[in-house]
Amino acid sequence: MRVLALILLAAAGAAPPPPGVTGPRETVSQRPVFRFRSSGAVGFRCAFDSPRLHRCSVRYSERLAVGAHVLRVRAVGRSGAASRVVTVAVRVLERLSVGAAVAVGPGAGAPAAFGGAVWVPTTGDGSLVRVAGGAVVSRTPVGVAPPTGGFLDSAVASAGAVWAASDAGARISRVDADSGAVAATIPVAERPGGLTEGAGAVWAFHFLQGTVTRIDAAAMTSATLTLPGARATGIAFGAGSLWLLTTAPARLLRVDPVTGALQGTVPLSPPFAPRRAFIDSWWLAFRDGVVWATLPNHDAVARVDAATGEARYVRILHGRPFGVAAGGGSAWVATDRAVVRLDEATGSVVAAADLPLADRSGFVSIAYGDGAAWLTNYDRGTVVRVTP
């Protein structure tokens, strides 16, 4: 009994274990909420950005400025003995402005911003919808409705026109930006999954294939390149080269646009444990010597220097990243629940906006133009304007 009493007495005077801290590590809220937990603790002491701690409740919040902060917390036992201090890094981001959603039609795909409008292909009915001034102003049939789900139509602006790829229809159409009428339709290989433009041509990758279609924008002729072993999910043009994103495993291929020869390969292997097994890579963008690739399984974005091939990785804490666009000194990332803006020079996350629950989707795309990013929601059939 005496031994048991000594054990209980010692336990009563022992410090509780260091507290667990739940709450956001990166947020747009300037009053984020944190909760503390420690077995046997009767209280907590904490502070932001100071080693001098004060009494805190189990649920704690205070107003924080935009920028980096450090939260320090320790648990206090019945005897007054305190645990070691736990530190948590917290970043408060600038909040992006998200406009009202504009309904465009079923299966809103990858958009293109051009001529004071945003052009949205609607996969579900094979149309190309022009939105200006917050309203739909024209709707042009350019493709076919898919027999099942899993298809994604896309658009790109080039040579004074808007080009739309019908994923299920195996065709690419050139649409006059003034009239909205179809100027030409070119049959291509099956599953044209996305478009880019460069060197006087429009380029399409074909989903999970090694085929790339090149359409001469002046002559309106098409040709194909073949990259053996590629399973393409994204395409971009820049620094005189064609860039192809491929999956299983995730790689970035640099391709000579004239000969189709492989100029280099960049393996994409983020230092973050995979969180799911959906698809290794999804979309690609290029601007100012930098290639951006989304890696949904790892909640990551790769920033690849076109000159050196060096890849840096950015962890996205705001959902699964799918679409990516570059412009305005930033990379704009569309996730299944938010829009995130990255600094073009460093790749660091600088701003974000959480989407309303009703506007969240597993398939989102994004484009940049006219001083804004344009986010499309496949499931909701909408487009929204996003600005700093």
Q: pLDDT digit string (tens) for 234-287?
A: 999 999 999 999 999 999 999 999 999 999 999 999 999 999 999 999 999 999
Question: What pLDDT score does 363 carry?
Answer: 85
Residues 216 and 336 grouped into a single domain: yes
Closest Cα to residue 47, out of 69, 27, 66, 26?
Answer: 69
Same domain, 48 and 138: no
d(CA 128, CA 152): 13
Query: Residue 10 domain-assigned?
Result: no
Query: What is the model's pTM?
Result: 0.92
Mean pLDDT of the chain, nearest integer: 94
Domain span at residue 305 reads 97-387
Is position 3 within any domain? no
State whether 211 and 276 are in the same domain: yes
How would residue 21 be classed by pLDDT, with cut points 50, 70 and 90?
A: very high
Name the pLDDT band for 361 (thresholds 50, 70, 90).
confident
Phi, psi of 22 (to 5 degrees): -110, 145
Number of separate domains in the chain: 2
Is there a single domain that holds both residue 262 and residue 354? yes
Are 140 and 72 members of one domain?
no
3-state SS class at 5: helix
Domain check: are 191 and 84 in the same one?
A: no
Q: Which CATH number covers residue 159?
A: 2.130.10.10
- Region 359-366 average pLDDT: 82
Residue 329 · residue 118 · CB < 8 Å: no
State how far the Cα of 314 lies from the Cα of 299, in Å rounded to an integer: 9
- The H-or-E segment that residue 3 falls in is helix 2-13
- Provide the terminal-to-terminal Cα distance of the chain, rounded to the nearest Å: 68
Q: Give dist(CA 272, CA 354) in Å, integer.
A: 22
